[in-house]
Every structure is written in structure tokens, then in C-alpha cells.
Amino acid sequence: MSGREREQAVRAAGAGAAWRARSPPGTWRLFGPALAVWACAAFGVSHPGSGRIFALAAGGAGVCAIAIAIVAARRRDGRSAGAVAVGTAARSVLRHGAVALAALLLLGSVIDSGERVRADPVLAQAADERRELDLEVVLRGFPKAQASAFGGARSWVPAEARGATGAVPVVLWLDEQPRAADWAPGARLTVRGAPVALEPGSAAAYGVGVTRVGHEAPESLLERLVDGTGGIAARLRAHLRDAAAKTPRAELVPGLAVGDTSLVGEQLQLRMQQSSLTHLVAVSGDLVDTTDAWIFPAPAVMG
């Protein structure tokens, strides 16, 4: 091989290595919009009212780009250099930014609709006046409890309250551990308590300190199926917790299995945080709660 051929081979190998080091074509058309959506979602969590701005800005930019591209395509002859540049820029925006604009439009619409539901006037007025009221709620998870060093346990459960604007996400604060069979995802309850407005970034819009609970009897066959299935799951969960409570050093078993951390005391919780092991029960609990929150109420929704 001559020196020239060797030099060409080295250049070809370098070009191939550089090509392999580059990201695949089109990667930034998805990765860029994903970064933009994540950034806007993080901003929208702490800034209420920004969802509408995102939707209007993305929709307006998309409509303008489409209109400019159509007009530029129809008037190809006799255009100035500035008009050509504007048409090229509009087509470039559509080619590279269509996914980002569509994602931002969807994100803004979802945020705005969620904020409209959370801004229920009845709950907002009761929270301002610190007044108790009766609420019809549907549980969206199992009750969670945290053992206290002074005895007893603090309990809470995620739910949705029926409001004038739709199903408002709330969290019910309980003074004691409720009965297992009556508190399962999909169960319908009537509770009384004073709502408290939570931070905009919270999963729930209001917290309700429950002072009285009433259980609604299921009416249709599907509602009875949901109630029965949820009751069975809740009893199995309670039996596992009771068995673990009688077994030495088994406090973490319910948490690892079904996300029930009611036996985990403050000292054990602190040691888990110091050893970075809290995620073991957190992931299990989130997975079980998410699955149950969708599976158990599904028949009732279809009915």
C-alpha cells in the first residue's frame, strides 16, 4: 500500500469513527422537545396559570408558522430575499419544532384543565372560611399510616371529591387507622371535615381533616363488584400487616410487598433515610397504589 492510499484509509477510518460518535439523525427532534416540556412542566408546577400561556403561545406559533409557510409556497415567483428568508424560517420551524409545539400545546391544555378542576369554588370558599362541609369522595388508594414515637399512628388516604368543576384530588387526614374492609381504592364515602388548601405543587388540591365518615352502599352490580374486590384486597393487606406486627424485625415486610409502612417507626425511618434505602418501600407503595387506583375503579367507570 502506497503512502497516499494509507493516508486515505486513515482519513476514512477517522470519518467513520466521527460518524459513529455522533448521535443518530433526528435524535434532537425528540430530545429537544422533551427537555422543553420537562422545563415547562417544572415551571408550571410552582406557577399557577402558566398552562394557558404555554398552550396559547405554542398554538399561536404553530398557526403563524403554518400560515407563513403556505403563503410563501404559493408565491414563489417575484419574491424578495427577505420573503424567501421568512418562508425558509417558517418551514424550518415546522420541520424541527412541530413536535415541540404540539407537546407544549398538549402540556398547557392538560395543566389548564387540571387547574380549573382544582379551583373548585365551594372547596375554596370553605377553606378560606375554615368551615366544615360534607363531601362525596372516591378513594384512590389504601390508607397510609406512620407510627409515632409517642404511640398511635397518623393516617391519610388519597381520594377524589365530587365538586362543581369535576373530580377534585384531595387527601383525607384521619385520627386513627380505619377499618380495612371499608377503605379500599374505588370505595365511595361521605366525609365531613374542613378543607385546607395545599401548595400548588402538591398532588392533592386540598387536605381534609375528617371528623365524620359515612359509607355509601353500592347500587349497581359493577359497584358491588368494585366494593367486594377492594374489600378482599384491603383485608389481605391488613392480615399481612397484622402478621408482620407479631413477627420480630418484620416491620419492612408489608412495605416491601404492598407499600404499607404503618409499622415503620420514626427511628427505623430515620435509619433508612441515612442509609438511602427509603426508595425500597417508596417504589413498592407507588406501584401498588397506582395499579390499584386504576384497576379497582375501572368497572365503576365503565358502568
For residue 214, report the phi and psi dihedrals to the nearest 5 degrees: -130, 140
Total-model pTM: 0.65
Give percent of the chain with pLDDT exceeding 90: 9
Higher pLDDT, 288 or 213: 213
> Grid coordinates representing 200?
400548588
Residue partners of 301: CB distance under 8 A and separation at least 6: none
Cα 199 from chain centroid (whole Å): 15
Reported as a single tens digit per residue, the pLDDT across 166-202 is 889 999 998 776 665 567 788 888 999 999 999 887 8
pLDDT of residue 172: 92
Reported as a pLDDT band with limits 50, 70 and 90, residue 16 is low
Question: What's the CA gap between 186 and 171, in Å, rounded?
Answer: 14
**Residue 134 to residue 153: CA distance in whole angstroms:** 25
Query: Residue 208: pLDDT band by 50, 70, 90 thresholds?
Result: very high
Q: What is the pLDDT of residue 93?
A: 67
CA distance 220 to 226: 10
Tens of pLDDT along 50-106? 888 999 998 888 888 777 777 766 665 555 666 666 666 666 766 767 788 888 899
- Per the DSSP assignment, residues forming a β-bridge with 136 are 190
Contact 102, 54 (CB under 8 A): no
Q: Distance of CA 193 to CAs 66, 171, 186, 247, Å?
A: 52, 11, 20, 37
Of 84-88, 106-110, 213-217, 226-230, give the range with the top mean pLDDT.
106-110
pLDDT of amino acid 9: 61
Asked if residues 122 and 163 have their Cβ atoms less than 8 Å apart, the reply is: yes
* DSSP code at position 5: H
Mean pLDDT of the chain: 75
Place 303 in a pLDDT band, splitting at 50, 70 and 90: very low
